[in-house]
Structure 1
Amino acid sequence: MLRLFRSKIYLALFMVSLVLLFGVLGYRYIADFSWVEALYMTVITVSTVGFKEVRPLSTDEQLFTV
């Protein structure tokens, strides 16, 4: 049972890391944000906080965010 639980946790952490990596790289290269801005936008989007965009987004950037 412990082995199954541990493998699911590792899988979940791996998937979250992949989403964060994909989001940061997307904002970095599609929207030309700095690394910190890209991480910030990814975290507020994934966590559904939606606090405030770093700057207004173009149509392409809005589609990536969706």
Structure 2
Amino acid sequence: MSTFEPGQYVRLRSGGKRMLVKSALDTAQLPNTALVPCEHEEKKRTILGFYIAANLKLADAPP
């Protein structure tokens, strides 16, 4: 599984938006997956996406 914990901020290795790692309880439909559930805001909407852990790196928390 991933090494990221819920509540940590991550970003794609290629750059991009800061995203918040969500807990596995929020994504109960995908048990035993290697994907990391992350959410970010775009145009005043919360977007939930699933990313491969190898493509993510830790990011600083927002100010």
TM-score over 0.5 for the alignment?
Answer: no
Higher strand share: 2
Question: More relative contact order in 1 or in 2 (CA 8 Å, sep 6+)?
Answer: 2
Higher helix share: 1
TM-score by length of 1: 0.23
Q: Which has the larger radius of gyration?
A: 1
TM-score by length of 2: 0.24
